[in-house]
Every structure is written in structure tokens, then in C-alpha cells.
A and B are shown apart, each in its own frame.
Chain A
Amino acid sequence: MVMQQIADGLGVAGVLAIAALGLGIVFGVMKIINMAHGELIMIGAYTTYMVCTVGHLSYYAGMVASFLVAAAVGLLMERFILRRLYGRPLETLLATFGLSIFLQQFIRLVFGPDGKSVSSPFQGTWMIGDVAIPLFRLFIVIVAIVMILVTAWVMFRTRFGMQLRAVTQNRSMSECLGLNTSRIDALTFAFGAGLAGLAGAVLAPIKTVSPSMGLDYLIDSFMVVVLGGIGSLAGTALGSGLLGESNQLMTAFISETGAKMIVFLLVILVIRFRPEGLFRMERR
């Protein structure tokens, strides 16, 4: 029973990690409050729907396409809106919020308000003793781990990642050394947006794809990123693990909404007393 809850919790944690990773880059590293993060996830999910359900292509093609489409939307967002608002967090928040309404309604206009479904590429469950693990859940956990590792690789082992970290640490110095900081900003945001799109692709088979699906993920993602400590990749991974597991373990005793409420209240307490996150050693 408890083992089953832990296994389910791992699946929830995987979903959270995937959803939060893009925000971890955008909010954590670039310090941009992107209220349209959930809509980027939603766009990824719709792209998967178009590729897989309408286009009858493979699920993996859907994943690649959603990364690219969401990254392109992110690039446009950065170019035309966010770039004018750097250093003004509240205004960024408001503009991206307006954008989230816009994107939601745009998708509603094109695809209609009713939910779409994407069939899961993996059917069946895997049994370990009494514990049942749906294969797609397992797939989600693996994708989450791979995504975190790839992001870590991009951030710490590539030239782009080095430039990105240099710009966030000392913008004017990087500029003096000849880095094109505005290009790096744009690419970073596009990368974060692409990760959100990928999250949409992974979530599409387990959730109903609808124009308003983004909001829940927005708040969940913020909670994960803040809990783990902003700007820390490992923190995002651990934060999603903690959030997913505690949520799922509590549903063994109380209702799902009750569990979610308690977990959220705990996260708010954490923000209050440790704004730098649970898993961050040094103080900002």
C-alpha cells in the first residue's frame, strides 16, 4: 500500500519536474516571472495532438515538434515583449499574464473549447510484487531524469551554457568581453520555453488537452522551483520529488485537494522562512 503510494508519487514527481524545468531556467536563471509558462506547456500539448492524433505520426516526432514550436513561440515572446521589460519584474509579470490570456483564447479560437486526447504510446503496467506501475508513468520518470541531465549538460558542459551562466552572473562584464548578451537572453528563454513545450508533449497522453490546462501547472511549477531554490537545477529535481511524494503519500490519508492544500501551505511557509529554497546552501 505504502509502496504503491511511493511509486505513484514518483510519477507525480516526474510530471512536476518536467513541468517545472522550463520555469527553472526562465525564472531561476533569468529571473523572469513568466505567467505564460502554463500556456507554453499547453501549446506543446496541442502540437503533440496535431502531430500524433491528427497527423498520425510517431509520438517521438510529437515530442520534437512541441519542443520546437514552443521554443519558437518563446523566441517571439522574448523578442517583442520581454526584452523591453528586463529589470522590471512586476511589469514582466503583468505582460506575460496578458499574453497567457491571449494565447489561451487564441488556441480556443483555433481548436475550440473542448478537450482533445492524445493516446499513450505505452500501454500496460509493470508489476513488482504488489506494486503496479503503468509503463507510461515509468516513461515519464525516465524522461524527467533524461531532461534534467540534458539540461545540466547544456548548462555546464556546452559553450552556450557557459555564456548563459556568465551573462546571469555579470551582464556588463560579459558584454565587455564580447558576448552578444541579447542573443543569449533570447536563446535562453527559447530553451526554457522549449522545455515547457516538451512538458506539454509528455503530459498530453495523461491529461485532457484543453486551452485552460496551463494554470495548474503554472502554480505547481512555481512551487517546485521556489521550494528547490531558484537557479538550482538539482533543487528543481529535489523539489519536484519532495512535492510529488509528499502530495501522493498524504492522499493515502486525506482527500486529494486536502493534500494539495496542505502541501501548498507548507511551501508558502518555506518561501517565508527560506526564500532561497530548501536545497540551497549559500545565501544570495
Chain B
Amino acid sequence: MRLYNQRIDNVLAVVTLIFLAVFPLLASDFRVELMGKFLVYALFALSLNLVWGYTGLLSLGHAVFFGLGGYMLGLAYSLQNGVPPFMSRFGIEEIPLVMRPLESVPLALLLGILVPGVVAGLIGYFIFTSKVSGTYFSIITLALAMLFEMFVVNMQAYTGGFNGLMGLPRFPVNGEPLPLTTYYFIVLGVTALAYLFTKWLMETHFGKVVKSIREHESRIQFFGYNPARFKIFVFTVSGMLAGLSGMLYVPMNGFISPQDVGVVMSTSVVVWLAIGGRGTLMGPVLGALAVNWLSNLLSEQYPTLWQLFLGAVVVLIVLFLPNGLYGTLEHWWKERSLHRAEKETKAVLLTESKVDLKKARWRA
């Protein structure tokens, strides 16, 4: 059963990887850039999948970590040529002390993972060590997303405010921005690694404990595990991964704005994951890619209708396909192979018993 179950994941993952790898050879630069952006979204969805899909904690503010990562790198690029215009406009002549570390891009790359991780760890510690239940966690994280968005808009002198940070280069090495395709493959590589990491993590003992927290928290507590510690750890890792995706987003997109780090982004990723299938390996990837491509195709002509459709799909998915599209497919596949395996075993048993009978007769 295990074998059959893994096969569909592996097959789909390889097919998707091959498709994504040859995509830049066939498509125009415009589309490659789009696909690169959606790949970043897939990585972001993978990070939410760790907390929501496997641990059962619905974070409605995951864009906070995405944004922290993105703004670290965005600010680092903005600071490369001294005080950026959005700062000097407010009479700031020197780069503030807090932002000095961001003058170094490699350090910013490190901070873009560490800062979201630390923030996620603190939030996790703060929430999970109390008796606050799952739904409160969702409300608190939603409020945090709103707060963070307000904060970024409000700190105009330091974050570029409502307009965000613009004109960010594509990951320059020695002053030269990377070619689009090269950067695309970096993003693809990182996303594939994140996929493999999720797969590995969920097969370890740790992953099993985490999944059983989702299924039955008090039962795992009776076994002597402390669910709070596991939740904090998963949330921290997920925050770091979200920060990484935010960082990859900046060079691909060329700008980052408060809309990317607040309620809208946080809820979008929830939608991709719900449609793709939470708690599955390929669900987040396929969900993010498919929803965004469709959205891109349809929203130009029918922006309102598309959103209307998306809302209805979310409701229908929750009611009828709670495992999402991919989750349902996987489930169906599992049932089918289980059924087959059962048949095969029966057949084998039957022939074996006939052989036995013959032997018995012969002996007699």
C-alpha cells in the first residue's frame, strides 16, 4: 500500500519537475517570469502546508513571514546606493543603525530566513504554551497580518510605505543581475529542495508525532509528548521557509509592497492550499501553480467573475472535497491500489492453497 501510495507522488513530482525544467526553453520571457513567480508561491504554499496541512494549525497570517523575508532583501537592495529616495524624502540622511546590517546582501539573505524564524518562534511560543485553541490561533494570526500590513504602510520613511520598494534588481552577482532563466532555475531548485525536505520530515519520527497532533492532540500527550514544543518547532521552520519564499519573490517580481505581506496574501495562500490539497506533498505545488495560472488567464478578462468563482470553489471544496483536488485524487488512487493488492493477495493465497492440497494428496 505504501509503495503504491508513494508511486503517484513520485511520478507526479517527476513529471511536474520535468515540465517546469523544460518550460523556459519553450515559453517567452514574460511567461517564464510568471511561472517563476508562481513557483515562489508554490514554495510559500509548501511552508504553510507544514503548519496547516500536517499539524492542523490554520495560520491566517503567514504572509507576515513571507513579507519579513521579502522586505529584508528588498531593503538590502534599496540600501546599496546609500540612502534611498524614500528615506531622504523624510529628511533621513544616514542609514539608521537598525538597518545597517542590511547593507550587506549576504547578511540580509541570512537575516531574511532568521528573522521570520525568530518571529515565528516567538509567536509560536507565545500562543502554543497557553490553552488558546485552534480557532483563536487563526484569529490571532489574522490580526497579526493586518497589524503587519498597517505597520509597513505606516513606517513610510523606512519601508517605502504604501508604494513599497520598487526597482529591485534580479539577484545581482558582482553588480550584474542574473539572467532570468538562471534565476528561474535557482527558484525551481529551492522549491524542489523544499518539497524533498517536507517529504523527508514527514517520514521521520518527528513527522509522525506532528501528524498525530493534528489527529488527536490529547492522545499524543498521554504518550508523554509535549505538543506545544512540536508546534513551536514546526511553526518556526515554516516561518523560515516562508521567509525564504519571500526573499526569492523580490528578485523575481522586481518590487514588494504592503499588499504582498498582509491579509490578502495570507488568505490567498490558504485558498491555493485548500484547493490543491492540504496535508499532501504535491497538493500545495499543484494548487499554487494551477490557481495562479488560471487566475492569470481569466482575471484579465473577467476579474470579478474569477474571484466569484474562486470563492464558490473554496466553499464547495470544503463541503465536498475536504482533502482538496490532489488529496482526493491521492485518496482514490490509494483505495484503488488497496483494492488491487487485496485481489492479488487473494489470488496468490488461492493458488498456494491448491498447491498445498495437491501436495497433501500426493503424500497421502
Q: Which A residues fall within an 8 A CB radius of B?
A: 33, 81, 84-85, 89-91, 93-95, 97-106, 108-109, 215, 219, 222-223, 226, 255, 257-258, 260-261, 264-265, 267-268, 271-273, 275
Contacts and interface: CB of A to CB of B under 8 A. Distances in A.
Contacts of A100: 311
B274 A94 contact: yes
A105 B315 contact: no
23 contacts: A81-B315, A81-B319, A90-B134, A90-B135, A91-B318, A93-B138, A97-B267, A98-B271, A98-B315, A101-B307, A104-B311, A105-B308, A222-B139, A226-B136, A257-B154, A258-B154, A261-B147, A261-B150, A261-B154, A268-B143, A271-B132, A271-B139, A275-B136
Interface in B313-342: 313-315, 317-319, 322
Contacts of A85: 318-319
Nearest to A110: B304
B130 to A, nearest CB: 5
A273 B127 CA distance: 9
A215 B263 CA distance: 9
B63 to A, nearest CB: 14
A95 B304 contact: no
Contact of A105 (B126, B140, B304): B304
Given A97-B267, A215-B263, A90 B136 contact: no
A101 B274 CA distance: 14
Contact of A260 (B140, B150, B263, B319): B150
Contacts of B267: 97
**Most chain B beta carbons < 10 A, residue from A103, A257, A268, A275:** A268
B136 A271 contact: yes
Interface residues of B, number: 42
A271 B136 CA distance: 8
A81 to B, nearest CB: 6
**Most chain A beta carbons < 10 A, residue from B58, B270, B304, B307:** B304
B151 interface: yes
A178 B189 CA distance: 62
Contacts of A226: 136, 139
Contacts of B270: 94, 97
A221 to B, nearest CB: 10
Interface in B105-147: 126-127, 130-136, 138-140, 142-144, 146-147
Nearest to A95: B318
Contacts of B291: none
Contacts of A99: 311, 315
B132 A98 contact: no
Contacts of A255: 154
Say whether chain B's binding surface is mostly helix, strand, loop, or mixed: helix
B312 interface: yes
Contacts of B308: 101-102, 105-106, 109
A102 B135 contact: no
B314 A95 contact: yes
B305 interface: yes
B310 interface: yes
Contact of A273 (B130, B311, B319): B130
Nearest to B302: A109
Nearest to A112: B304
A62 B154 CA distance: 37
A138 B308 CA distance: 38
Given A257-B153, A258-B154, A271-B132, A94 B318 contact: yes
A266 to B, nearest CB: 11
B311 A102 contact: yes
Contacts of A102: 308, 311-312, 315
Interface string B28-70: 0000000000000000000000000000101000000000000
A53 B127 CA distance: 46
Given A33-B135, A90-B134, A105-B308, A95 B315 contact: yes
B151 to A, nearest CB: 6
A255 B151 CA distance: 12
A102 B315 CA distance: 9
Interface string B162-177: 0000000000000000
Contact of B138 (A33, A267, A273, A275): A33
Given A90-B58, A97-B267, A97-B314, A105 B138 contact: no
A26 B168 CA distance: 46
Interface string B252-266: 000000000001000
A219 B143 contact: yes
Given A89-B134, A98-B314, A109-B304, 13 more contacts: A94-B58, A100-B311, A102-B312, A104-B307, A105-B311, A222-B139, A261-B151, A261-B154, A264-B147, A265-B147, A268-B143, A271-B136, A275-B133
Contacts of B322: 91
Contacts of A267: 143
Contact of B140 (A89, A261, A268): A268
B130 A264 contact: no
A257 B154 CA distance: 7
A255 B153 CA distance: 13
A99 B308 CA distance: 9
Nearest to B306: A105
A222 to B, nearest CB: 5
A101 B134 CA distance: 22
A272 B135 contact: no
A98 B318 contact: yes
B132 A272 contact: yes
